[in-house]
Amino acid sequence: MKKILITGALGQIGSELTMALRNHYKDRDIIATDIRMPSEPALRDSGPFEFLDCTDPNHITRVMQRFDIGTIYHLGALLSAVSEMKPNTAWQINVNGLYHILEAARQYKCALFFPSSIGAFGPTTPKVDTPQDTIQRPDTMYGITKVTGELLCDYYFKKFAVDTRGLRFPGLISYQTEPGGGTTDYAVEIFYEAVKHKHYTCYLRENTSLDMMYMPDALRAMVELMEADGNRLVHRNAFNVTAMSFTPAQLGREIQKHLPQFGMEYSVDPVRQGIADSWPDNLDDSAARREWGWKPKYTLEAMTKDMIARISERIGLPQEQKAR
Ligand code: AKB
């Protein structure tokens, strides 16, 4: 059985995807890779781990020669806010890194998953019910690298028949690994602050609407897309997917239903607010629903309840202090 390679396996998506794939494919080796070694025992001890810097083609070749890889989940990337601070590094990792991985996928005949983002849209994109095929003129380095990635993946499918597939992820919410350097990170931070301190200062304005998804839905979306019948895929890459769309104020009100003392204030960060303002309010994901049966399970209500319960458990709050 061909093996599965994950790059960026210690990131927000990668750490959970590695464990999910190791559970899902009992008969396939999942080779987790990143530019540092794991400290988390579950991830470290549950299967092979390799050092791999995707900006160095020699690293990729070494891993591809050592393991018989059939599918690559390429998750090594910088997120939006940090890409604005380090545009050059963002290009090196998000574009050159993807290019080297695409070349490896072509040479070693692998399928490839590439995560695009709502960041691939820009200020001139229709903001409400953003269509699958629409204007994409992002004005952030992150967005530019994501559009480039979408186009490169389409090109490698058309030109070299590499089985590239991908999703445009919204903000991902998870209680296991915190994101780093994203614009939607507030939707994770808020839960930790709410459970620990009953208070959160948000860096986005209260009425900033963005698409979001709970991590279990995101993991399922990746696996379902990669397992889908390729003949049914009209788009293949860059499918709009979403599960919910909310503002910081709406999320705060939902949290208050469980933690009535929770309070919020706002101290707007102009960089992240500028990025969020250039992104859609909510996506139309009907192409994903039609072509491979996408259907989210978690609503805002269900995600909030689960996040609060899991984080309270994780930080070991005594029973009487836990949420209602
Ligand atoms: C970010 O905020 O940068 C990411 C994304 C939506 O791509 N979470």
Question: pLDDT digits over 178-200, tens only?
Answer: 878 999 999 999 999 999 999 99
The DSSP call for residue 119 is G
- The angle, 0 to 180 degrees and rounded to 10, between the axes of the packed helices 300-314 and 186-197 is 50
List the structure tokens of 158.
Answer: 């058309």
The predicted model gives 291-298 an average pLDDT of 98
List the structure tokens of 51.
Answer: 């050092």
3-state secondary structure of 77: coil
Question: pLDDT digits over 150-164, tens only?
Answer: 999 999 999 999 999
- For the ranges 15-24, 144-153, 173-182, the lowest mean pLDDT is seen at 173-182
List the structure tokens of 254.
Answer: 């939902």
Phi, then psi, of 112 in degrees rounded to 5: -135, 130
Residues 6+ away with beta carbon under 8 Å from 60 = 52, 54, 100, 101, 104
List the structure tokens of 96.
Answer: 């050159």
Question: pLDDT digits over 231-276, tens only?
Answer: 999 999 999 999 999 999 999 999 999 999 999 999 999 999 999 9
Indicate the pLDDT class of residue 316, thresholds 50, 70 and 90: confident
The predicted model gives 204-233 an average pLDDT of 98
Give the closest residue (by CA) to ligand 1 atom 1: 182
DSSP string covering 227-276: HS-GGG-SS-S-EE--SEEE-HHHHHHHHHTT-TT-EEEE---HHHHHHH
The predicted model gives 91-120 an average pLDDT of 98
CATH 3.40.50.720 positions along the chain are: 3-170+213-240
Residues 189, 254: contact at Cβ < 8 Å? Answer: no
Ligand 1 atom with the smallest distance to the CA of 184 is: 2
The maximal CA–CA distance of the chain, rounded, in angstroms, is 61
Ligand 1 atom with the smallest distance to the CA of 117 is: 7
* Helices of type H across 56-211: 57-66, 80-85, 87-90, 98-107, 141-160, 186-197
* Domain 3-170+213-240 listed as CATH 3.40.50.720: yes
pLDDT of residue 319: 45
Indicate the pLDDT class of residue 87, thresholds 50, 70 and 90: very high
* Cα 170 to middle of ligand 1, angstroms: 7
pLDDT of residue 151: 98
The 10 Å Cβ neighbour count of residue 59 is 18
pLDDT of residue 317: 65
Residues 283, 168: contact at Cβ < 8 Å? Answer: yes
The predicted model gives 204-222 an average pLDDT of 98
Q: Which residues are catalytic?
A: 142
What pTM, to 2 d.p., does this model score? 0.96
Indicate the pLDDT class of residue 12, thresholds 50, 70 and 90: very high
CA neighbours closer than 13 Å in the CB half-sphere of residue 314: 14
pLDDT of residue 324: 56
Higher pLDDT, 319 or 225: 225
Residue 174 pLDDT exceeds 50: yes
Higher pLDDT, 317 or 293: 293
Residues 267, 206: contact at Cβ < 8 Å? Answer: no
Question: pLDDT digits over 23-64, tens only?
Answer: 999 888 999 999 999 988 888 899 999 999 999 999 999 999
Helix (H) or strand (E) holding 78: none
Ligand 1 atom with the smallest distance to the CA of 183 is: 2
CATH 3.90.25 positions along the chain are: 172-211+243-282+298-321
CATH topology of domain 172-211+243-282+298-321: UDP-galactose 4-epimerase; domain 1 (3.90.25)
% of the chain exceeding 90 in pLDDT:
93
Residues 307, 191: contact at Cβ < 8 Å? Answer: yes
Q: What residues line ligand 1, using a CB cutoff of 6 Å?
A: 79-80, 117-119, 169-171, 182-184
Phi-psi region of 109 (alpha: psi -120 to 50; beta: other; left: phi over 0): left
List the structure tokens of 293.
Answer: 């049966």
For the chain, give me the number of helices (H) and strands (E)? 13, 12
Query: Best of 146, 184, 283 to mutate for ligand 1, by most ligand atoms within 8 A of CB?
Result: 184
